Amino acid sequence: MGMEKSLGGAEFAPQTTYLNTASNGLIPARAVAAMRTSVEDTAAGKAVDHFSAVEASRATYARLAGVTAERVAAGGSVAVYAGLIATSLPSGAEVLVAEGDFSSLVNPFAVRRDLTVRSAPLDDLAAAVREETALVAVSAAQSANGRIADIESVRAAARLHGARTLIDTSQAAGWLPVNAGDYDYTVSVGFKWLMCPRGVTFLTVPEDFGGLVPVFAGWVAGEKPWDSCYGPVEELARSARRFDESPSLSSYAAAEHSLALIEELGTDTIHAHDAALAERFRAGLAGLGQEPVAAPGSPIVAVPGLGHAAAALSEAGVQVSARAGNLRAAFHLYNTAADVDRLLDVLSGSLAGTAAR
């Protein structure tokens, strides 16, 4: 399939020209149906094993991430999992981050005043790792502009200096193949490129758990959850499930089916489709005299200084976003070349109108 048609088929029927997956992904019809059934069954008081969807989601995500399900924790927030990792660091430890990276990844370390959080430009991140660095935390693709980090160089530099790595794949999982097993920790929300509802997040950890202590462990973190409902949990799960947050069950009922669609289509196929649409937009921007932030291979295209145009585009039924002053468009499997052309057409009109004033 090419960019002249979507990869999603009948799973999606957007009523706008939707180019804002970097904010929220569209939810496939099969996932919407599953979530509706979950809510309706709950409202009807039916006995339903909602937790089976959590385990199915965990297993599919593990395959997408290239690790075993035993290394995947299921929760609801990147910030919570970044905070979990922050609690594992000794006082005085240095955390290296990329300048301008997303707050949910950075802030949990910054609020620990006994840690040193040091930032470096994205392109210089690997070179900035030093002997004092305990952890390097970086998004695989940057939220503000779509730039893809050289996480392989970061991994190599971190290993050379004995530092751990935390890779946030929230803006990458679903289109950019990342082998989570190559890094100490990875974390990703599900509501963007994985097209799940909010309330779905995955953490991957090393087989030895990387020194993490499950400080927010509740009954779901027990090896036998239903025997762990009262008092201290006698035995924590022997897998990464010990780091599970109590799950948003209806969201995971949908996530099972959203993740299955990603797996059916294949990350490489999705990447090729998404990147081709982004390149079409970049070429069109050149014709409008606009230069986007350089982000080769990324389906996220950010145009500096045009963030103000997002509101006018929305009024015309073209959904994009404004981030850090940039106009940010994001192209995913349900988008087509016609969507790109519609964006360029409306943007051209908006720029012409601005110039006339």
pLDDT confidence of 255, banded at 50, 70, 90?
very high
Q: Does the residue 1 lie in any domain?
A: no
The DSSP result for 102-161, as a single string, is -HHHHHHHHT-TTSEEEEE-GGGHHHH--TTEEEEEEESB-TTT-PBP-HHHHHHHHHHH
CB 141 within 8 A of CB 275: no
* Domain identity same for 160 and 283: no
User: 205 and 327 share a domain?
Assistant: no
Number of domains making up the chain: 2
Residue 3 lies in a domain: no
Same domain, 46 and 119: yes
Give me the CATH number covering residue 119: 3.40.640.10
**44 CB neighbour count, 10 Å cutoff:** 8
Is-contact 212 85, C-beta < 8 A? yes
pLDDT at residue 266 in the model: 97
CA angle (28 as vertex; 23, 34 as ends), nearest 5: 115
What distances in angstroms separate CA 37 from CA 42, 259, 269, 303, 350, one per listed residue? 8, 18, 30, 41, 42
Does the pTM surpass 0.85? The reply is yes
Q: What number is the average pLDDT over the span 26-51?
A: 94
Question: Does residue 341 fall inside a structural domain?
Answer: yes
Q: Is the pLDDT of residue 219 over 70?
A: yes
Whether residue 295 sits in one domain with residue 244: no
Looking at residue 3, its pLDDT comes to 57
pLDDT value of residue 5: 77
Domain check: are 39 and 161 in the same one? yes
Residue 337 has pLDDT above 60, yes or no: yes
Residue 136 and residue 92 in one domain: yes
Same domain, 225 and 286: no
275 and 202 in a single domain? The answer is: no
Dist. CA 310–CA 314, nearest whole Å: 6
Does the residue 2 lie in any domain?
A: no
151 in any annotated domain: yes
As a whole number of angstroms, the distance between CA 200 and CA 254 comes to 10
Q: How confident is the model at residue 44 (pLDDT cuts 50, 70, 90)?
A: very high
Q: What is the mean pLDDT of residues 75-83?
A: 97
Which burial class, exposed, middle or buried, applies to 160 when counting CB atoms under 10 A from its CB (0-12, 13-18, 19+)?
A: exposed
Flag whether 112 is in a domain: yes
Residue 190 included in any domain: yes
Burial class (CB in 10 A: 0-12, 13-18, 19+), 162: exposed
What is the spatial distance between Cα 216 and Cα 200, in angstroms, rounded to a whole number? 17
User: How far from 117 is each of 79, 98, 108, 127, CA to CA, in Å?
Assistant: 16, 10, 10, 16
pLDDT in tens, 258-314: 999 999 999 999 999 999 999 999 999 999 999 999 999 999 999 999 999 999 999
User: In the Cβ-directed half-sphere of 203, how many Cα atoms lie within 13 Å?
Assistant: 31
User: How many residues are listed for the chain in this entry?
Assistant: 357
Which of 204, 234, 264 is the endpoint of a domain?
Answer: 264
My answer on whether 249 and 331 are in the same domain is no
Q: Does one domain contain both 247 and 276?
A: no
Total Cβ atoms within 10 A of residue 345: 14
Give the mean pLDDT of 149-170.
Answer: 98
- Domain of residue 295, residue span: 9-28+266-356
Q: Is the pLDDT of residue 356 over 50?
A: no
Task: Give mean pLDDT, residues 47-59.
Answer: 93
What confidence category does residue 1 fall into, taking pLDDT thresholds of 50, 70 and 90? very low
pLDDT at 354: 61
Domain boundary among 264, 293, 312: 264
- Final residue in a domain of this structure, among 233, 264, 295: 264
- pLDDT(65) > 50: yes
Query: Is 4 among the domain residues?
Result: no
CA distance 39 to 153: 45
Per-residue pLDDT reduced to its tens digit, 126-138: 999 999 999 999 9
Q: Once rounded to an integer, what is the mean pLDDT over residues 142-158? A: 98
User: Do residues 260 and 273 share a domain?
Assistant: no
User: Which residue would you say has higher pLDDT here, 114 or 9?
Assistant: 114
Do residues 100 and 73 lie in contact, with contact meaning Cβ atoms separated by under 8 Å? no
- Is the pLDDT assigned to residue 160 strictly greater than 50? yes
Q: Is the pLDDT at 143 greater than 80, yes or no?
A: yes
**pLDDT: which is higher, 53 or 354:** 53
Pair (169, 97) in one structural domain? yes
CB 169 within 8 Å of CB 48: no
In angstroms, the CA 239 to CA 244 distance is 10
pLDDT attached to residue 216: 93
CATH number at residue 308: 3.90.1150.10
pLDDT exceeds cutoff 90 at 242: yes
Mean pLDDT of the chain: 95
User: Identity (one letter) of the amino acid at 18?
Assistant: Y
pLDDT of 110 strictly over 70: yes
DSSP at 222: B
The pair of three-digit structure tokens given for residue 180, joined into one six-digit string: 């989570």
